[in-house]
Amino acid sequence: MNNKQALNPYLPSWEYVPDAEPHIVNGRVYIYGSHDLFNGLNFCLGDYVCWSAPVDDLGSWTYHGCIYRREQDPAAPRIRLTNGLAAPDMVVGPDGKYYLYYFMGGTKMISVAVCDEPAGKYEFYGYVKYKDGTPIGKRGEPFQFDPGCLMDEDGRLYLYTGFAFGGNPILLDGSTPTRHGPMFFELDPGDMLTVISGDDLKYIGVLTSDEAKGTPYERQPFGEASSMRKFNGKYYFIYSSLNSHNLCWAVSDRPDGGFEYGGILVSCGDIGLPGVPDVKHARMCTGNTHGSLIEIGGQYYVFYHRHSNRKQSSRQACAERIRFEDGRFYQAEMTSCGLNGGPLSGKGVYPSYIACNVYGRSGTRFLSMIKHPKGADPFLTQRGGDREEGDDQYISNFCTGCTVGFKYFDLSETTAVTVRLQGYGNGCAVTVRTDEHGQPVCRIPVETALQEKAFTGSLPKGLGSKEALYFSVEGKGGTFDFNSFELS
């Protein structure tokens, strides 16, 4: 098999699939997530789509198209803008069918769709319900949201839901956020819908809000994005903390409680890694993040999403290899080569949108649903409207004083770098560093280019087999669209 290099984001630049839950079926990794639209006014406005890749070729993703439309749910509200299809999860039933658990805004329920294939056309199946037929969420429970599922080896089926953010009146739709962390339901695997763990709400002990004070959860209390995985006989609960930009984990010997806080899996701004103490120092503009863990061939990966287009609702799927030792996960770093299994080649053309660090003189910010003004900072965007074609996302406002970073490349045989720019900048130069705060290893004079133009500089011999590349603009008034670069 001729494996392609795997880049981050791992899907085409026109695709916006956040909240990814990865699952392996018959030697392929399938991604189940919500679906943003480029420049969408709100989260999750698209119908569900599915992508998959062979486990031994994580750079070759296949698009399976739309697998489920919002209008298939009988309870779908007429207005889509505030009632999109939120983060789903998939589980294989005892009957061999594929069950998609999801939440739709405006319903307060957890819905289920079913299909005979992992990425086929799903059909509406029903609502998760108590034994008397009442759907969960219809008894005044805390807000049901972002379902996560686990079918254990013993055939028992578990569902986890919850939402702890109190300041979202549109999303909450009159419901109350959970004060006690994620909720737990055991479901009947016979019908995949009926709660058999009783009518009383049960919580697994991943704490939120005031309950977390004075505990290991205090700095990263539960916010949303429930996901459950099992490794080496232990249960790992993955969640987005109330800080929103951090994906965290907790661990227990059982699926229904006793969870102890573990740590951060990944931050969509590298917050928590050395030199990045808080959101003000983030290496990319932040927002919420959501995802899960998977083991492939003895390696572990964390799936999450990043933000683009100067707002929260144009989110893209990313993944990183993550260190897992003695039952513990250690925070992964955002990279451009997440699923690649190692550094990218030091030869070839790379699109600028695979940057994992993007910030300007004023640093970064936690994005909102309202598009932030351009200002003097670089940002990821694309040409044209939302569509399923055209790998042309790029970095706009690549300007004096900014930094755009890519990790990692094997530069041991690389002697030159070419940047392809369009914009204004007579008398300016693009500097290239391998250390974020080090001295430049290359300085490329550039000039105003009304159409895309290539500018080339030489790299010194003796660079390493795992190097970062940081590009900056120096000189007065330089402002470009940074489209791509080539290593040769």
Q: Which residues participate in catalysis according to the annotation?
A: 19, 224
Query: Is 340 in a helix, a strand, or coil?
Result: coil
What's the chain's length in residues? 488
Residue at 393: amino acid letter: Q
- In degrees and rounded to multiples of 5, residue 127 shows phi and psi of -120, 140
Q: Are 90 and 23 in contact (CB under 8 A)?
A: yes
Q: Token pair for residue 325?
A: 């030792």
Q: Token pair for residue 18?
A: 């956040």
Return the closest-CA partner of residue 404 out of 302, 305, 481.
481
Between CA 444 and CA 466 the distance in angstroms is 22
* 346-359 exposure pattern, b = at least 16 Cβ within 10 A, e = fewer: beeebbbbbbbbbb
Q: Token pair for residue 53?
A: 């890749």
Instruction: Check residue 44 and give left, alpha or beta (phi > 0: left; psi -120 to 50: alpha).
Output: left
Between CA 1 and CA 107 the distance in angstroms is 46
For the CA atoms of 178, 189, 240, 339, what is the dihedral angle to 10 degrees? -170
84-to-39, 129, 411 alpha-carbon distances in Å: 15, 21, 44
Name the E strands within 289-426. Answer: 292-296, 299-307, 315-321, 323-325, 328-330, 348-351, 357-359, 379-382, 393-399, 403-409, 416-424
